[in-house]
Amino acid sequence: MKGKILRITRLGEPILRKALTPIRRPASAEIQRLIENMIVTMKKAKGVGIAANQVGVNQRIFIVAPEPSARYPHAPSMPPLAMINPKVLSRSKKMQTDWEGCLSIPGLRAKVPRHHALEIEFTTRDGQRRRARLSGFIARIFQHENDHINGRVYLDRVRDTRTFMTEQEYRKLVR
C-alpha cells in the first residue's frame, strides 16, 4: 500500500477537541492521498480506526478497519473503509459497555457505553453516498471515530473512572 506514515496527534492538542469541516470534493486527489496516508498510519499504529484530526487534518473523514491484533484479539476482519461526511440516522436503544483505547491517548483503556446498533449514511472515497446498518464492534468503532470528528474523545463517555487501566494490564485481561 502506498502512502506515508503521519504523526498521530495526542490528547491536549486543540484539533482533537474541534468539530471538523465537511469535505466538498471526496474524490479529489488530495482526499485520496489523505485516505492512503491515514490507512498506512493506522496500520502502523495497530489501530482499528483513525479520524482525520488524529493526523492533524480538519476534515470530516475517518477510516474503519478492524482486524484481530494484540490490542483487539477478538476483532472481526474488514478491509479499510473511508467514511466521508458521515451521519447517524438512528441508534438502537440497546447499549453495550466494552473496552476502548485510542491512538491519541496511548497506554490507557476504559469501559465505554455505546449504542449496540446504528443506521448511518456516509460518502465513499469515490463520491457515492451510502447507507449502512452497523452493529457490535464495527458500530463501536464508528461511534468512536465519529466522536473524534465532532471534537470528542472516548474519555468523555466513560461512566465509571474505576474502569481505567493501563494497556499492559488490559492485555493481561484479554489474553
Sheet of 95-102: strand order equals 95-102, 105-115, 165-166
- Smallest CA-to-CA distance from 141 within 63, 84, 79 is with 63
pLDDT score at 106: 96
Q: Which pLDDT belongs to residue 175?
A: 77
CA distances 49 to 61, 62, 154, 159, 174, Å, are: 11, 7, 13, 22, 20
Residues carrying an active site annotation: 145
pLDDT for residue 80: 97
Residue 149's Cα: distance from chain center in Å? 9
Q: Tell me if 122 sits within 8 A of 86, measured CB to CB.
A: yes
The Cα 122–Cα 86 span in angstroms is 4
* pLDDT computed for residue 1 by the predictor: 64
Using DSSP bridges, classify how beta strands 117-123 and 129-135 pair: parallel, antiparallel or unpaired.
antiparallel
d(CA 173, CA 55): 30
pLDDT at 74: 85
- Reading the chain (175 residues) residue by residue, the pLDDT tens digits are 689 999 999 999 999 999 999 999 999 999 999 999 999 999 999 999 999 999 999 999 999 999 988 778 889 999 999 999 999 999 999 999 999 999 999 999 999 999 999 999 999 999 999 999 999 999 999 999 999 999 999 999 999 999 999 999 998 988 7
What topology does CATH give the domain 14-174? Peptide Deformylase (3.90.45)
Q: What is the pTM of this model?
A: 0.96
